[in-house]
Copies of this chain bind each other. A is one copy, B any other.
Amino acid sequence: MTYKTTRKVRIGNIEVGGDSRKTVQTMWKKSLDLFSGEDLEEILNLEDVGCDILRFSVPNFRTAGILAEIKRNINMPLVADIHFDYKIALECIKNGIDKIRINPGNIGDEWKVKEVLQAAADKNIPIRIGINTGSLDKTFNDISDKAEAMLKSAESEINILEKYNFTNALFSLKSSDIESTLRANREFSRRWDYPLHLGVTEAGPLTAGLVKSSIAISQMLNQGIGDTIRVSLTDKPIQEVIAGREILRACGMYANGVDIVSCPRCGRSTFDTHEFISSVYDELYRVKKNLKVAVMGCIVNGPGEASDADIGITGAGTKVVIFKHGKIYRKVDENKGREEFLKVLEEFVR
């Protein structure tokens, strides 16, 4: 193995790095100024479907205060994302945040970074140095090779960290193209043992972003690179969390929760598998057990896939058939399908 085993850091009640389990992160996308009770529900649901760590953009002191209040109601570790103003970082640390992310490209003079490091050291919380090709410090902006530019930026930050004996750090090196992201993270992992937060930045809308992120992140994980992942999508946070889980699962690093095998639909069946899954989506992803669930349109592949699944549902004319471990359990009218299916799911969860 040419890549270093990373050291461990602790983010709230979660350990990242070394032989810790790989964790999934996402970011809150709405303004904290408008935070509501419904938003809190959404965050609790994110935790329930597998989010390990949640990050918030904190653009000013007012939102730092709001975040401090939110933190009282949430178990999962929270991260404050700070740009431009180091004083907001200090405020969040004072308020008990679990981790700070700063962007070396825009936090300014070294003495500001030093103050943040000292405050974090006092509270024993880690800092992620989040390097993005879209917002590099001017010093590195002229390097035409994006991977090289990110690595130079990382090196410069590591020199500052080490000068102040701050080792409780993680790094990310994200580009919007796969190739630079891979190259930068591989070289980083050869040279340093800071835990790596993986992602492709500004990866795009759901479909395009998932393709880029899945390919890049899985390649790194399969090579032994990466400790925590964030799939960056121009879409809802829940999709980022589920994508993170699924990438870990595809790499053999996630064994909890459902694996959904489902029919793409074709003109053969009237059972709308797409609509059915949408109607039970959050319920499925809240399951903590390792279950295989088959949602199939018709008899071509339906019973075949269902025979291999813990729970299966297949269209059959105007009815649906529900399977348990490959055996027909019930045949009900399509409009009763959801209810019966959720009952069976509930049995498996208990």
Contact = CB atoms under 8 A, between A and B. Distances in A.
A201 B277 CA distance: 16
A282 to B, nearest CB: 12
Identify which of A28, A57, A296 gathers the most chain B CB atoms within 10 Å of its CB.
A57
B176 A305 contact: yes
Interface string A200-237: 01111111111110110010000000000000111110
Interface stretch (A109-117, A163-171, A258-266, A340-348): A258-266
Nearest to A34: B267
A34 to B, nearest CB: 9
Contacts of A31: 267-268, 270
Given A246-B212, A274-B235, A56 B260 contact: no
Contact of A261 (B32, B176, B242): B176
Contacts of A135: 300-301, 304
Question: Would you call the interface of chain A mostly helix, strand, loop, or mixed?
Answer: mixed
Query: Oligomeric state, in number of copies?
Result: 2
B304 A234 contact: no
Interface in A43-101: 56-59, 63, 81, 83
Given A210-B210, A260-B204, A28 B215 contact: no
Interface residues of A, number: 75
Interface in A275-300: 277-278, 281, 294-296, 300
A132 B294 CA distance: 15
A134 interface: yes
Contacts of A56: 266-267
A101 B92 CA distance: 60
Contacts of A267: 28-33, 56-59, 63
Interface in A169-215: 176, 178, 201-212, 214-215
Interface string A26-41: 0111111100000000
A243 B305 contact: no
Given A215-B215, A264-B232, A304-B136, A207 B204 contact: no
A234 B264 contact: yes
Contacts of A208: 242, 246, 259-260
Nearest to A174: B301
Contact of A242 (B29, B207, B264, B273): B207
A202 B132 contact: no
Contacts of A127: none
A211 B247 contact: yes
A211 B212 contact: no
A106 B265 CA distance: 18
Contacts of A302: 134
A262 B202 contact: yes
Given A29-B267, A202-B294, A203-B264, 17 more contacts: A29-B265, A31-B270, A106-B300, A132-B301, A133-B305, A134-B305, A135-B300, A202-B296, A203-B261, A208-B242, A208-B260, A209-B262, A210-B214, A214-B214, A214-B215, A232-B264, A234-B273
